[in-house]
Amino acid sequence: MELFGIPLPALLSQLLLGLVNGSFYAMLSLGLAVIFGLLNVINFAHGALYMMGAMFAWMGMTYFGVSYWVMLVAAPLLVGVFGVIIERLLLRHLYKLDHLYGLLLTFGLTLLLEGFFRSIYGVSGLQFNVPEQLTGARNLGFMILPNYRAWVVVASLIVCFSTWYVIERTKLGALLRAGTENAKLTEAFGVNVPLMVTLTYGFGVALAAFAGVLAAPILQVQPLMGSNLIIVVFAVVVIGGMGSIMGSILTGLGLGVIEGFTRVFYPEASATVVFVIMAVVLLIRPAGLFGKEK
Amino acid sequence: MKASREFTIYLALLVLVALLPVFGAYPVFVMKVMCFALFACAFNLLIGYTGLLSFGHAAFLGGAAYATGHVLKVWGWSTELGLLVGILSGAVLGLIMGALAIRRSGIYFSMITLALAQMLYFLFLQTPFTGGEDGLQSVPRGTLLGFINLADDLTLYYVVLAIFIVSFLLIYRTVHSPFGQVLKAIRENEARATSLGYDVARFKLLAFVLSAALAGLAGATKTLVLGFATLTDAHWSTSGLVILMVLVGGMGTMLGPILGAFIIVALENKVGDIGAFLGRTTGIEWFNGLGEAVTVVTGLIFVICVMAFRRGIVGELQEWWVRRRIQPAA
């Protein structure tokens, strides 16, 4: 069977690959949006912390023989704690200044972290096996579905939509949204906003680390794996606008799929298609698809 | 600072730099510093005087380096035309990127410039004329105006110095002109500048194009000096490096970017030696690998500057000078 002159299984497998990439975009841009909402900081270090998640998982499995499933929880927790330390020690002192300094600080942290891991592990990829429960693939009749890729999409969808649910539908989320809207007033109602800020940052970067662990068996685990990704995620964030949680998730997934299609029909443009879309969106709707005009 | 004292400092610096080869400084190294100093000064025009943080300036440096290299090597154009092509390509790229990026402000502006520069990086990686991973090698220097032979390092040295001085004067003039005052007004309070009737978007775009054109000149000159143009010039890490130069030296100061460029270029050259020295003296093996991972050092400097040292070296010195004048030592 063929569609647009491309065999259907090939088309669908690229589509799945796009969906996998889209899940990473979605999780990363979601974390960026949540952090930006409350801290007004664009966390450049998001890519480096995503890399740290993958690295920690690799280190836990290689040096301590811990299973993939334990590291799937432990690595994000460790990175989350690391994020809390960064927020308390460094970021906290910059909130009163121009937002640019937050970007510059996290950019510096990115260089520092990437350089540090590079000085130990070099730039060649580290071996990271798919956990044995998820090896192999399933034949759906119209395409071959590798189990691990299916797992990545399902796991990230669950995480993304749980995050959406917590923020939009629970009391905790209501406090968070109140803090985003007006931090001073929320504090006046007795909410411990500084603590909320710290934990939000920790949660946002833990989400990045979770994406990193998920990505580890499919993409190469190496110290620079996050830096190219984060720039694409920035473009995703500009396209979607950071105003809405659901908007971030949908934009991330959608752009992953579009990228996948581009790889089928015009592979030369697959690296640049997201940036081209960003340029078009800026011309038509500068505030982003889900952003609000100020 | 009084104008006459300022003039004396500039003149002393100029004489010093002009005499550096006589004192035995390696001309190519100083020329490289001057190229990056020009790049940093161009960048400072945006961040220091207009308040725009561009994260994509490597695109102009790299784009112009390729354009100049191509017309000199493949088309055999003359050197002065090559430099002109560099300036123009920087300006055109700046016009396109700037027109898109100024549609958003603040932090979005930075993200957009970064994303567009990354797109250009991928284009450079794919198009054949850049030579891909190998870059554009052995670009001839040629002769300037038909009679100045630039193959000699010392001759080129004074040509590069002249290029730098002219550009520096242009930036100085821009910053101290009514146009520059409007830019500073936009930096301080954009809404008020708008309410005073200034077309803020046009001023921003003009500043962006000017900065991009000068960054292009820096890239073109760099190709001339080193004889090659590579992907590194257009990579996002170069955009980060120029931010660091301006941050270390002092945003919004005339001399800060020059000092910052010198410190960072020297550091990049020497960090391997410093690491090897630390490895020998402390016995910690890890330091020996520092040359391979320069970003540990640059990242650390970034963090220290942002946390404790936001005025930069020249900014802190100026501040100290002013305070000393207000409160004479007892």
Dist. CA B226–CA B231, nearest whole Å: 14
A-to-B residue pairs, Cβ atoms closer than 8 angstroms = 129
Name the β-bridge partners of A3: A6
pLDDT of residue A293: 52
Nearest to B107 among A99, A114, A278 (CB): A99
pLDDT of residue A294: 47
Task: Mark yes or no for CB contact A112/B104 under 8 Å.
Answer: no
Residue B147 is classified by DSSP as T
Residue numbers in A near B53 (CB within 8 A): 100, 103-104
pLDDT of residue B76: 82
pLDDT of residue A292: 67
Task: Mark yes or no for CB contact A100/B118 under 8 Å.
Answer: no
How high is the mean pLDDT of chain A?
Answer: 90
Amino acid letter, B182: V
Residue numbers in A near B240 (CB within 8 A): 107, 111
Which tens digits make up the pLDDT trace of B143-159? 777 777 777 888 889 99
pLDDT of residue A10: 80
| Average pLDDT by stretches of 10, chain A with 294 residues | 73 89 94 89 94 95 92 96 95 89 93 91 86 84 86 95 93 89 89 91 96 92 90 91 87 93 87 91 87 60
Closest chain A CA to residue B111:
A234
Residue B133 is classified by DSSP as G
Residue numbers in A near B295 (CB within 8 A): 111-112, 114-115, 118
Q: Which two tokens stand for residue A271?
A: 């690296």
Helix or strand (DSSP H, E) at B210: helix B200-226
Quote ipTM for the complex.
0.88
Query: B296, B297, B298, B311: best mutation site toward chain A, by most A Cβ within 10 Å?
Result: B296
pTM equals 0.90
C-beta separation of B287 from B276 below 8 A: yes
Dist. CA B282–CA B273, nearest whole Å: 14
Residue numbers in A near B247 (CB within 8 A): 104
Nearest to B240 among A99, A107, A276 (CB): A107
In tens digits, chain B (330 residues) has pLDDT values of 567 888 888 888 888 888 888 887 788 899 999 999 999 999 999 999 998 999 999 999 999 999 999 998 888 888 889 999 999 999 999 999 999 999 888 888 999 999 999 999 999 998 888 877 777 887 888 777 777 777 788 888 999 999 999 999 999 999 999 999 999 999 999 999 999 999 999 999 999 999 999 999 999 999 999 988 889 899 999 999 999 999 999 998 999 999 999 999 998 888 777 877 887 888 777 777 676 678 888 899 989 999 988 899 999 898 888 888 877 654
B106 phi and psi angles, rounded to 5 deg = 60, -135
Amino acid letter, A95: Y
C-beta separation of B274 from B41 below 8 A: no
Closest chain B CA to residue A234:
B111
